Amino acid sequence: MIPLSVLDLSVVTTGTKPAAALRNSIDLARHVDGLGYVRYWLAEHHNLASVASPAPDVMIGQIAAVTKHIRVGSGGVMLPNHAPLVVAERFKMLEALFPGRIDLGLGRAPGTDGATAYALRSRLDRREGDDFLERLHELILWETREFPSGHPYNNVVAMPDDTKLPPIWLLGSSDYSSELAAQVGMGFAFAHHFASHDAIDAMVHYRNRFQPSAWRASPHAILAVAVITAETDQEAEKLATSFDLNRLRRDRGQYLPLPSVEEALAYPYTDSERTSIARNRSRLFVGNPATVQKKLQPLIDASKPDELMVITAVYDHEARKKSYSLLAEAFGLAKRAA
């Protein structure tokens, strides 16, 4: 059975305010730590009414402090929003405090709209165009200390200097990050839950082109998928109606809190909206545990991930915990943990 991990957006609902959503993330992390999940990653998003956490590094520290076994990391830090030195310092601190349990996942996207991205970056030394590769190179140099002779950064040390950076993972929803992760020999995570690019192509491409490095001797590919599981198919389908309406609104640029099942069921969908929902369902796996496994297996067989990272966004927090419990049981996590 494939290992399972969690991707958490600290989802805000119409009945759960952002502060409560953050506390729910901590509660969920404790829950899945006991179920045998191997990783708990937190995303970086800004100016989104549906996502409570803009600072994964802060949440990583809180969650690592209340869990025992699970690795905790970023899924991810949007590197263009931050000075590489700041990222190096914060994640070296986390690694020093929780040795062997921290992951540094990096993304290229701003995680927000244009105006907010400008507000995040306006005080940084901005360069025109996509400077992700340049920032990644600088971040690596803070670890390797291989700045050119005479470079002023040779006199700057990312503290704590007796701690290495945690493992770096490159996140992507296209073939760009899969190619880059393979070239530099880092871990790779593919966002199937919102990507338009073919997950199988990206995952196979990464594995076939991987070059061993000081970061990793062999490839490790994580496939992130959206899953909603319940005791019955009917119950799972009912829970998924919140996702359906939320996704429909997101496609229109309306990033609202996740609606309740009652609101979603009462919504007067047009035929075109129902068509959009059916199309979006290609990125969501819904059903009882056996149904979800059956739906996931062809994708797992074809893309051959080393790990499945699950994001479950439902209105009721207890239903979300139950979804992860059922999935853990179906994939035999408890037996492996024992």
* Structure token pair of residue 306: 């080393």
Residue 338 has pLDDT above 70, yes or no: no
User: Model pTM?
Assistant: 0.94
Specify whether the CB–CB gap between 337 and 251 falls below 8 A.
no
Residue 336 has pLDDT above 90, yes or no: no
**Confidence (pLDDT) at 18:** 97
- Per-residue HEC secondary structure of 21-81 comes to HHHHHHHHHHHHHHHCCCEEEECCCCCCCCECCCCHHHHHHHHHHHCCCCEEEECCEEHHH
Residue 10 has pLDDT above 90, yes or no: yes
Q: How confident is the model at residue 120 (pLDDT cuts 50, 70, 90)?
A: confident
Residues 6+ apart with CB under 8 A from 321: 27, 28, 31
Q: How confident is the model at residue 337 (pLDDT cuts 50, 70, 90)?
A: low
Share of the chain above pLDDT 90, in %: 87
**Confidence (pLDDT) at 192:** 95
pLDDT tens digits, 162-179: 999 999 999 999 889 999
Please report the DSSP string for 288-311 in residue order: SHHHHHHHHHHHHHHH--SEEEEE
Specify whether the CB–CB gap between 67 and 31 falls below 8 A.
no
pLDDT tens digits, 186-239: 999 999 998 889 999 999 999 999 999 999 999 999 999 999 999 999 999 999
Conformational region of residue 257, where left means phi above 0, alpha means psi within -120 to 50, and beta covers everything else: beta
Q: Which residues pair with 307 in a beta bridge?
A: 222
Q: How confident is the model at residue 116 (pLDDT cuts 50, 70, 90)?
A: confident
Closest CA to 222 of 322, 319, 300, 167: 300
For domain 4-331, the question of CATH label 2.40.50.140 is answered with no
**Confidence (pLDDT) at 115:** 84
* Average model confidence (pLDDT) across the chain: 94
Q: Which residues pair with 221 in a beta bridge?
A: 188
Residue 155 has pLDDT above 80, yes or no: yes
Q: How confident is the model at residue 74 (pLDDT cuts 50, 70, 90)?
A: very high
The residue-averaged pLDDT of 299-323 equals: 98
Residue 128 has pLDDT above 80, yes or no: no
Residue 41 has pLDDT above 80, yes or no: yes
**Confidence (pLDDT) at 195:** 86
Separation CA 166–CA 99 (nearest Å): 9
**Confidence (pLDDT) at 335:** 63
